[in-house]
C-alpha cells in the first residue's frame, strides 16, 4: 500500500519543537499566520550548558535552545567568566615558570635596528 504523504522534513520538526518554547501569544501568532519554519527557528540561538571553554561538548545533550535576547544576555555573562578564568590560569602559569631573576638584557654587538653590511666575495 502506498504511503499517503511524504515524510515530515527535519526543518519542520525542529520548528515545531522550538515553537513549544515560545511564549503562548507568539506561538499562537505563528500558527495563525502559517509562518514558515525558518521564521520560528530565527527567534532562537543555541546555548552551551557547559561552556565549550571549560570542556563542554557540541553534542545535543550539552545544547539548549534559548530565545535570542535571553541567550545574548547569558553569553555576555559567560564571556566575562571565561575571561576571568583565563586571567587566573595565566597568572598561575607565570608564577610557576618564574625563575626568580630578571631576564638578562639583550646582548648584541650591533645596535638595535642596524645590521652590518655584507662583504662582497669577489
Determine, yes or no, domain membership for 31.
yes
Q: What are the pLDDT digits (tens) for 1-33?
A: 777 778 899 999 999 999 999 999 999 999 999
Structural domain of residue 26, as residue ranges?
A: 7-42
Q: Are residues 55 and 37 in the same domain?
A: no
Determine, yes or no, domain membership for 113.
no
> How many structural domains is the chain composed of?
2
Q: Are residues 64 and 82 in the same domain?
A: yes
Q: Write down the pLDDT at residue 91.
A: 75
Q: Average pLDDT in the 44-66 region?
A: 91
**4-42: buried (b, 16+ CB within 10 Å) or exposed (e) per residue?**
eeeeeeeeeeebeebbeebeeeeeeebeeeeeebeebee
DSSP 55: T
Determine, yes or no, domain membership for 25.
yes
Q: Write down the pLDDT at residue 111.
A: 59
Q: Are residues 38 and 50 in the same domain?
A: no
Q: Is the pLDDT of residue 58 over 60?
A: yes
Determine, yes or no, domain membership for 114.
no
Q: Are residues 90 and 50 in the same domain?
A: yes
Determine, yes or no, domain membership for 87.
yes
Q: Which cell goes with 42?
A: 530565527
Q: What are the pLDDT digits (tens) for 70-117?
A: 999 999 999 888 888 888 888 776 776 665 555 555 555 555 656 666
Determine, yes or no, domain membership for 1.
no
Q: Write down the pLDDT at residue 2.
A: 75
Q: Average pLDDT in the 43-68 region?
A: 92
Query: Around Cβ 44, how many Cβ atoms within 10 Å?
Result: 20
Determine, yes or no, domain membership for 120.
no
Q: Write down the pLDDT at residue 104.
A: 55
Determine, yes or no, domain membership for 75.
yes
Query: Around Cβ 75, how many Cβ atoms within 10 Å?
Result: 14
Q: Write down the pLDDT at residue 84.
A: 85
CA distances from 78 to 18, 59, 101 (A): 23, 19, 37
Amino acid at each position: 500500500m502506498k504511503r499517503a504523504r511524504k515524510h515530515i522534513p527535519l526543518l519542520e520538526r525542529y520548528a515545531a519543537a522550538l515553537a513549544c518554547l515560545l511564549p503562548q501569544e507568539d506561538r499562537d501568532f505563528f500558527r495563525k499566520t502559517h509562518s514558515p519554519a525558518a521564521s520560528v527557528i530565527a527567534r532562537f540561538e543555541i546555548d552551551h550548558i557547559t561552556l565549550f571553554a571549560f570542556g563542554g561538548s557540541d553534542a545535543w545533550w550539552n545544547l539548549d535552545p534559548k530565545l535570542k535576547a535571553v541567550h545574548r544576555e547569558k553569553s555576555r555573562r559567560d564571556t566575562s567568566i571565561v575571561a576571568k578564568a583565563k586571567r587566573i590560569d595565566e597568572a598561575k602559569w607565570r608564577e610557576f615558570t618564574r625563575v626568580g631573576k630578571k631576564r638578562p638584557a639583550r646582548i648584541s654587538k650591533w645596535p638595535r635596528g642596524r645590521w652590518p653590511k655584507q662583504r662582497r666575495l669577489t
